Structure 1
Amino acid sequence: SSSEYLAHKAQQKSKGVDEKLWPYRFLRAQSATAISQAKVVLWNQAFTNLDAFRQIISRHQEIASQAGVALRVLVVEVSIDPELARRRIAERVKQGEHDVAADRFENFVRDYRSFANLEFEMVLLEGADNPDKNAQKIVDALY
């Protein structure tokens, strides 16, 4: 955790904000600053709720509009076999990184629906592919 996030957590806790919202609020504040400076924002979050996803995009479009910045949204959707994802989570935990509760993981797998073929500019990636190959697909789509 960065010193900025630790300070953010303390502030959110003092305000009585639900702990589940802390990461989102931190990322939103960082992205708002970056958008107002016309920087590229990479938002990494798994979504199963299309309405919540649209709401976040709408909020960012409002931020961009207020800053007089054109906001292009490129959605990068990564598909991965659930068993491979479980193995990667286990490896991540061994490295001291965060875990995902089993019930939360199962709910996500159950509720997941692709956002492809909707109104978004999309890049579809396979999570088992080489990360450099996937990164190049994103760069190609951006530029």
Structure 2
Amino acid sequence: MPKTLIVFGSTTGNTENAADTIAKHLEKNEYAVDIRDASDVSADGLADGYELVLFGCSTWGDDEIELQDDFIALYDDLEKASLKDKPVAVFGCGDSSYTYFCGAVDAIEEKSEQLGAKVIVESLKIDGDPDDDEIIKWCDQIISKN
């Protein structure tokens, strides 16, 4: 039963809904899941005690990549999260009409890798409202890698 942490930042509720779908599917597959809103966590030792860490963040901004407001402080202090050698996967919602579609997902994945995390699957970039089937397929990839 892999102990899993899901941390999400959501403004409209789409990324939170995706996080909930992920948590339910992983729990159904015998994962122990803690799900936290980014506004309620500190980066200090965040990943300690977890075998898998999933980050979810929506993206704003057309001219530049803007992370969801609640996720910014966590992103800025991510080096304190103890991600070295941790399996990590990233998901998020965005709008494909923007120049940097789900750019926050790319930024979090890149920073996690720079900090020594092992990104285990390709990130999940959701265009608009979350599609449960798409999310579950992504979760199944995680389960097969973990």
TM range (shorter): 0.3 to 0.5
TM-score (norm 1): 0.33
Which structure has the bigger radius of gyration? 1
TM-score (norm 2): 0.33
Task: Flag the structure with higher strand content.
Answer: 2
Task: Flag the structure with higher helix content.
Answer: 1
Question: More relative contact order in 1 or in 2 (CA 8 Å, sep 6+)?
Answer: 2
